[in-house]
Structure 1
């Protein structure tokens, strides 16, 4: 059986595969490139659980021999996890308003019970050990970078300062837009260019 490309979409903190950009990417691929396999796992807000589950998932994909190429798209916290996986396997990744230093904002979420933005009936409570884990993971992921990256960011992001991402991913492909917001306005414009960046002529 002929191998197919795989696009792995990683959502943001307390988000889900039901997020707007994730569904938009999935639907666009189904219509325009049905040969590309789309996968969007539910990612735990607990960093160690997220790390283990994502490593297991991607290691399995890589070792299966079923895919001729694997590309990553990560939004916000999903951008951090995309970097983590891209560095491990030297994969291409598109980072959309990515979190560069997530351990900085995690202390704001300590204490209260957290629920997904999607309204799903789940509850989480972060501890200091989660922050410590994230700091350790950040320390492991410093330049020079092994993956191939495209940074997509909007200066109107009300949650993350895109200048951090611009600086961290210096030397990688950048598209920085004025205005916009953390959700990245007009994401649909980039579906085709994202696929071209990740897979090139293989599709």
Structure 2
């Protein structure tokens, strides 16, 4: 099973989520892919994903997280022992998202939603200071990310497999070029320790 966790203000309609969905369906593996709409509450998002992956063997599960979804995927991977692919992941979102407390809108539907002050504490509770088994992680980071610092990402995921893309952007507009490497990792082309 592959579960894609979108970023803040994003949705299952994101470019990368749709591309993964299309590719896995083309490979006859669409039934193995989930991309839930995550609620604004970090605790709610974690609870939703935990309900979706309950009973899954860590060896048969990969989380793919983009931006804030990468932060969630890291915490969940530490809890479950599964693989995680991080696409321009947020490393310290409690500070980054403070400015969004209040009403904001979704990228794809323009619908307003509230990002409550208590969500900052929920984010802090999900902090992973050091990943325990770097071989279970694959970082894809773009030096041209206009939102998050790719250097923070490479430091945080030290020892993990890393693909640093020169240029690009936060949304990884060239993600089609990395999708085969991502799926190979998801499929266990690199065995867990």
User: TM-score surpassing 0.5?
Assistant: yes
Q: Does 1:42 find its partner at 2:37? A: yes
Alignment partner of 1:124: what SS?
strand
Counterpart Cα distance in 1 of 2:89 and 2:41: 18
Q: Highest Rg: 1 or 2?
A: 1
The runs of at least 4 consecutive aligned structure 1 residues that moved more than 3 Å come to none
Structure 2 residue corresponding to 1:119, chosen from 100, 106, 109? 109
- What is the CA-CA distance between 1:128 and the residue it aligns to? 2.2
Gaps of 5+ in 1: 1-5
8 Å CA contact 1:86, 1:146 repeated in 2: no
Gaps of 5+ in 2: none
- What is the CA-CA distance between 1:142 and the residue it aligns to? 2.1
* 1:24 alignment counterpart: 19
Equivalences for residues 182-197 of structure 1 within 5 A: 182-197=170-185
Q: TM-score, normalised by structure 2?
A: 0.90
Equivalences for residues 172-183 of structure 1 within 5 A: 172-183=160-171
The count of corresponding residues between Structure 1 and Structure 2 is 189
- What is the CA-CA distance between 1:182 and the residue it aligns to? 0.4
Residues 128-165 of structure 1: CA deviation (Å, up to 9, x unaligned): 21112211221xx2224246001001010000001111
Q: TM-score, normalised by structure 1?
A: 0.86
- What is the CA-CA distance between 1:36 and the residue it aligns to? 6.1
Q: 1:68 to 1:33 in 2, by over 3 A?
A: farther
Q: 1:68 to 1:155 in 2, by over 3 A?
A: closer
Q: What RMSD, in angstroms, separates the aligned Cα atoms of the two structures?
A: 2.0
Q: Does 1:14 find its partner at 2:5? A: no
- What is the CA-CA distance between 1:169 and the residue it aligns to? 0.4
- What is the CA-CA distance between 1:114 and the residue it aligns to? 1.4
Alignment partner of 2:72: what SS?
helix
Equivalences for residues 53-92 of structure 1 within 5 A: 53-60=48-55, 62=56, 69-92=60-83
